[in-house]
Chains A and B, each alone.
Chain A
Amino acid sequence: MFMYSVKHQRASSVAHVCELLAAHPDARPLAGGQSLIAGMKLRLSAPSLLVDLGGLRELTTIQIDAQHVTLGAMVRHAQVAQSEAIRKVIPALASLAKGIGDPMVRNMGTVGGSVANNDPAADYPAAVVALDAVVTTTTREIAADDFFVGMFETALLPGELITAVKFRIPKRAAYLKFKNPASRFAMVGVFVADFGSAVRVAVVGASAGVFRVAEMERALGRRFHAASLDGIEVSSAELLSDLHSQAVYRAHLIAVLAKRAVQSLTESGSKP
């Protein structure tokens, strides 16, 4: 309930953030704080300084063009969930944001914070990977497939800050998650995105981090229909067993949710 002593400083610009992070190796950027503050209160982390990104208006924009939806790193989940413009082009992204935490958490939590944190049960990594996103940082652009490297670990280097995430607009996509009833984190979450030329399937909540299911992608690429997934199983060997669920059950959930995600896109009448 009570965090260790820490200093707080509001950054005036992205450049200022980089300065502060460079000057204080134990500093952490503070986005919405919904994971970081919570973790600090449980005394799980103890940065020396929190560099507050809350005042950086330049990171709060939503841009939509013919091919991409680009979210500034400080765009709040509630903004994405309530955005008619996003719902028009990638409804699955708006739905995903709507399902994060609860309304109060969504008013503070950000896409940049979620992606940088890479909690194994968070939702956004599934969207980043399935929608073939590009993560823009203060120094470079990182492709989705290269970004998430381990549990709570990303390709970000010390002092490197996410400034935006650019999602490809798919032909159609769906995200379904099986919520832990208490925390509402994903026990398993499956994001299916059909780009016409290829299909991407990303899973969160089931393992140390987000992963793609190549077999499902190939099968759906040949024919985008739930029946294509019949018989495809994800091995439970690499999956998580914890107090919420056994690996075998998570493997089962992946198969069920993937099918339902595809069904939600095909059953409204669109041709497979």
Chain B
Amino acid sequence: MNDADTPRVIATEGIEASTVEDAQYIGKPLLRTEDRRLLTGKGRYVDDVVLPGMAWCAFLRSSHAHALITRIDTQAAREAPEVLRVITADEWAAADMGALTVVHPMPFSDGRPMNTATRPVFARHKVNHVGDIIAAVVANTREAAQDAVELIQVEFEELQSNVDVAKALDQATPLVHEQFGSNAVFDVRKGDEAATRAAIDGAHKIVELELRSNRLAANPIEPRSYACSYDASEERYTLYATTQQPHYLRRSLAVYALFIPEHKLQVIAPNVGGSFGIKGNFPVEVATVVWASRLVGRPVKWTATRSESMMSDTQARDHFTKARMGFDADGRIVGMEVDTLAALGGYLSNFAPSIPGNSYPQTITGLYRTPNLFFRVRGVYTNTVPVDAYRGSGRPEATWVNERLVENGARELGIDVVDLRKKNLIGPQDFPYRTLSGRSYDSGNPPLLLEKLLTLSGY
């Protein structure tokens, strides 16, 4: 291991794996084996895949954030040139198809199960965010599918919508899913409310912040794309998918959406053009593409346009937080209180509830000794695109809240921002360290890391 005093120089020039003796690869800056293909245009991304006789799928999406669907007429679309099939929620339901599933549900603090409205493959009766899928058209060409989508007539009764996470639980805010009587999805609490309140209220210095962690769209340069072919004689599907988790996707599709034996579906993830988490969950378009390949008896492909990506790729963050941190006169943290509303969108996506409900609290106290914690997060429905995992999912949100409080504490107390942190960091002797939010840090040396960071950055 390196000496703490000598920062390690990171090599920026790589070496060929073939030049390494005795397969001693660990620790060596190896040049990547895939680069040659990617640099000569020989990469294979899903939209590059051409299957014989391939047909194209396009989606009709809601342009309303919240509305009732009072009428759908697909007749003109069905009769349009080159159109093979038009699918709506009715066909999906008539065929007894399923839905994506929400893993790791988060309960209410009184033990009630969460209010679950899973993201549907097709919106039925109602749309709950801009981009919500109303219908799919499969046609011989991409252009014909897109042109036919515009022939589908839909009548809406517009409803009041709410896209502001901070207002989601207000009395006057319209409900996204009326059947729950509330926009709350779950309510997770950690720590001791009374003790923490007392500790902070009695503190020498109280920092109070209202923080908005705004909604993000990942936007990998490669849009999502799915291409599936169905072999009728063997009843097998071959799906090319922009996915980070092909096995998981296969299982989700087979077990929860399409009810087919898992071994009858092969999922191939070729080169993926960036994802950052958003191609990790089980989205709704893919189920339609797979099903359509059997319905029309030809391979079917869908590739998102960028505009579609912005209204259908799962998004991230979207928190509204009220937080407090109490400090003694020397700048030591005596308590931390966090109350977060976390938007989950118009429906629940795969991992969504667990991101604010389970991942977010894990690192809410950061690396700082925090003797008292009261943490509360409520997932809420908003008329926005469903949220799911993205780049750190939950933990960047936590670090930001934590560090903002610590930073403000230092500034308001007039203590050097580094010194205050040093005072509060847990030390090597404290590991394994059990945080009040329930997670254990198994090993580490935060003060040493901070010193290294200060040196390396020339602070």
Whether chain A touches chain B in the assembled complex (some CB pair under 8 Å): yes
- Give the Cβ gap from A213 to chain B, nearest Cβ, in Å: 36
- Closest residue of chain A to B308 (Cβ to Cβ) is A1
Which B193-213 residues have a C-beta within 8 angstroms of A? Answer: none
- Give the Cβ gap from A48 to chain B, nearest Cβ, in Å: 15
Let me know if A152 is at the binding interface, CB within 8 A: no
Let me know if A183 is at the binding interface, CB within 8 A: no
A4 and B143 CA atoms in complex are apart in Å by: 8
The reply to whether A1 and B305 form a contact with Cβ atoms under 8 Å apart is: yes
A2 and B143 CA atoms in complex are apart in Å by: 7
- Give the Cβ gap from B58 to chain A, nearest Cβ, in Å: 9
Let me know if A270 is at the binding interface, CB within 8 A: no
B-chain residues with CB within 8 Å of residue A197 when the two chains form the complex: none
A42 and B305 CA atoms in complex are apart in Å by: 10
Let me know if A268 is at the binding interface, CB within 8 A: no
11 A-B pairs whose Cβ atoms sit less than 8 Å apart in the complex: A1-B305, A1-B306, A1-B307, A2-B142, A2-B143, A2-B146, A2-B305, A4-B147, A5-B143, A5-B147, A42-B307
- Closest residue of chain B to A1 (Cβ to Cβ) is B305
Q: How many residues of B contact A (CB 8 A)?
A: 7
Which residues of B are at the interface with A, using a C-beta cutoff of 8 A? 142-143, 146-147, 305-307
A-chain residues with CB within 8 Å of residue B146 when the two chains form the complex: 2
- Closest residue of chain A to B143 (Cβ to Cβ) is A2
B-chain residues with CB within 8 Å of residue A2 when the two chains form the complex: 142-143, 146, 305
A5 and B147 CA atoms in complex are apart in Å by: 9
Nearest first, the 6 A-B pairs at minimum CB distance are A1-B305, A2-B146, A2-B143, A2-B142, A1-B307, A1-B306
B-chain residues with CB within 8 Å of residue A1 when the two chains form the complex: 305-307
A5 and B143 CA atoms in complex are apart in Å by: 8
A2 and B149 CA atoms in complex are apart in Å by: 12
A2 and B139 CA atoms in complex are apart in Å by: 14
A2 and B147 CA atoms in complex are apart in Å by: 9
A-chain residues with CB within 8 Å of residue B143 when the two chains form the complex: 2, 5
Which A1-21 residues have a C-beta within 8 angstroms of B? Answer: 1-2, 4-5
- Give the Cβ gap from A32 to chain B, nearest Cβ, in Å: 22
A-chain residues with CB within 8 Å of residue B306 when the two chains form the complex: 1
- Other 5 A-B pairs with CB < 8 A, given A1-B305, A5-B147: A1-B307, A2-B143, A2-B146, A4-B147, A5-B143
A44 and B307 CA atoms in complex are apart in Å by: 14
A225 and B142 CA atoms in complex are apart in Å by: 58
- Closest residue of chain B to A2 (Cβ to Cβ) is B146
- Closest residue of chain A to B141 (Cβ to Cβ) is A2
- Give the Cβ gap from A230 to chain B, nearest Cβ, in Å: 37
A-chain residues with CB within 8 Å of residue B305 when the two chains form the complex: 1-2
A209 and B338 CA atoms in complex are apart in Å by: 49
B-chain residues with CB within 8 Å of residue A42 when the two chains form the complex: 307
- Closest residue of chain A to B223 (Cβ to Cβ) is A1
A1 and B143 CA atoms in complex are apart in Å by: 10
- Closest residue of chain B to A42 (Cβ to Cβ) is B307
A-chain residues with CB within 8 Å of residue B142 when the two chains form the complex: 2
- Give the Cβ gap from B425 to chain A, nearest Cβ, in Å: 37
A1 and B304 CA atoms in complex are apart in Å by: 10
A4 and B307 CA atoms in complex are apart in Å by: 17
- Give the Cβ gap from A41 to chain B, nearest Cβ, in Å: 9
A-chain residues with CB within 8 Å of residue B147 when the two chains form the complex: 4-5
A-chain residues with CB within 8 Å of residue B307 when the two chains form the complex: 1, 42
- Give the Cβ gap from B225 to chain A, nearest Cβ, in Å: 13
Which one of A2, A5, A42 has the greatest number of beta carbons of chain B within 10 Å?
A2
A1 and B305 CA atoms in complex are apart in Å by: 6
Query: Would you give the 0/1 interface string for A50-72, flagging 1 where the beta carbon is closer than 8 Å to chain B?
Result: 00000000000000000000000
A2 and B150 CA atoms in complex are apart in Å by: 12
- Closest residue of chain A to B58 (Cβ to Cβ) is A2
- Closest residue of chain B to A3 (Cβ to Cβ) is B143
- Give the Cβ gap from B129 to chain A, nearest Cβ, in Å: 19
